[in-house]
A and B are shown apart, each in its own frame.
Chain A
Amino acid sequence: MARIIVLTSGKGGVGKTTSAAAIAAALALRGKRTVVIDFDVGLRNLDLVMGCERRVVFDFINVINGDAKLNQALIKDKRNDNLYIFPTSQTRDKDALKRDGVERVLEELKDDFDYIVCDSPAGIEHGAITALYFADSAVIVTNPEVSSVRDSDRIIGILASKSRRAERNLEPVDVHLLLTRYSMERVKRGEMLSVEDVNEILSIPLLGVIPESESVLRASNTGTPVVFDHESPAGRAYIDAVARFLGEQREMRFVKPERRSFFRALLGKA
Chain B
Amino acid sequence: MAANLVQGALFTVMVVRAEMLRDPAFETELAQQVQRSPRFFLNAPVVLDLRAAAEFTHEGEFIEARDILRRYTLMLIGVQNAQPAQLEAASAAGLASFAPTATQPSRPRSAAEQSQSAPAPPQPAASNAAKSRLVTQPVRSGTQIYVRGGDLVVTAPVSAGAEIMADGNIHVYSALRGRALAGASGDIEARIFCSRLEAELVSIAGHYLVSDQLPPEHRGLPVQIALVDDRLTIERN
Contact = CB atoms under 8 A, between A and B. Distances in A.
Interface residues of B, number: 15
A156 to B, nearest CB: 5
A160 B140 contact: yes
Nearest to B138: A203
Interface in B53-107: none
A160 B139 CA distance: 10
Contacts of A157: 139-143, 159, 162
Interface in A149-164: 150-151, 153-154, 156-158, 160-161
Contacts of A201: 157, 159-160, 177
Interface string A100-127: 0000000000000000000000001000
A154 B138 contact: no
A226 to B, nearest CB: 30
A124 B142 CA distance: 11
Interface in B136-165: 137-143, 156-157, 159-162
A197 to B, nearest CB: 13
B201 to A, nearest CB: 16
A158 B140 CA distance: 9
Contacts of A200: 175
A203 B157 contact: yes
B234 to A, nearest CB: 22
B161 A153 contact: yes
Contacts of A153: 140-142, 159-161
A203 B155 CA distance: 13
Contacts of B177: 201
Contacts of A124: 142
A154 B138 CA distance: 11
Contacts of A160: 137, 140
A200 to B, nearest CB: 8
A150 B160 contact: yes
Interface in A6-36: none
Nearest to A155: B140
A151 B141 CA distance: 8
A166 B138 CA distance: 15
Interface string A120-152: 000010000000000000000000000000110
A122 to B, nearest CB: 15
A203 B177 CA distance: 14
Nearest to B139: A157
B157 A156 contact: no
Most buried by B among A151, A153, A157: A153
Contacts of A150: 141, 159-161
Contacts of A203: 138, 156-157
Interface string A152-181: 011011101100000000000000000000
A158 B175 CA distance: 21
Contacts of B159: 150, 153, 157, 201
Contacts of B139: 157
By CB atoms of chain A within 10 A, which of B137, B138, B161, B177 has the most? B138
A154 B161 contact: yes
A154 B137 contact: no
A154 B157 contact: no
A172 B137 CA distance: 12
B199 to A, nearest CB: 14
A160 B160 CA distance: 17
Nearest to B177: A201
Max chain A Cβ within 10 angstroms of own Cβ: one of B137, B159, B162 = B159
Contacts of A158: 142
A156 B141 CA distance: 9
Contact of A156 (B140, B156, B175): B140
Nearest to B142: A154
A153 B159 CA distance: 8
Interface core residue of B141, B143, B159 (most chain A CB under 10 Å): B141
A26 to B, nearest CB: 28
A87 to B, nearest CB: 31
Nearest to B137: A160
Interface in A194-212: 200-201, 203
Interface of A: 124, 150-151, 153-154, 156-158, 160-161, 200-201, 203
- Of all A-B residue pairs in the complex, the 10 with the closest CB atoms, nearest first, are A157-B140, A153-B141, A154-B141, A154-B142, A153-B159, A157-B143, A153-B140, A156-B140, A150-B141, A157-B142
9 contacts: A150-B141, A151-B141, A153-B140, A154-B142, A157-B140, A157-B142, A157-B143, A158-B142, A161-B143
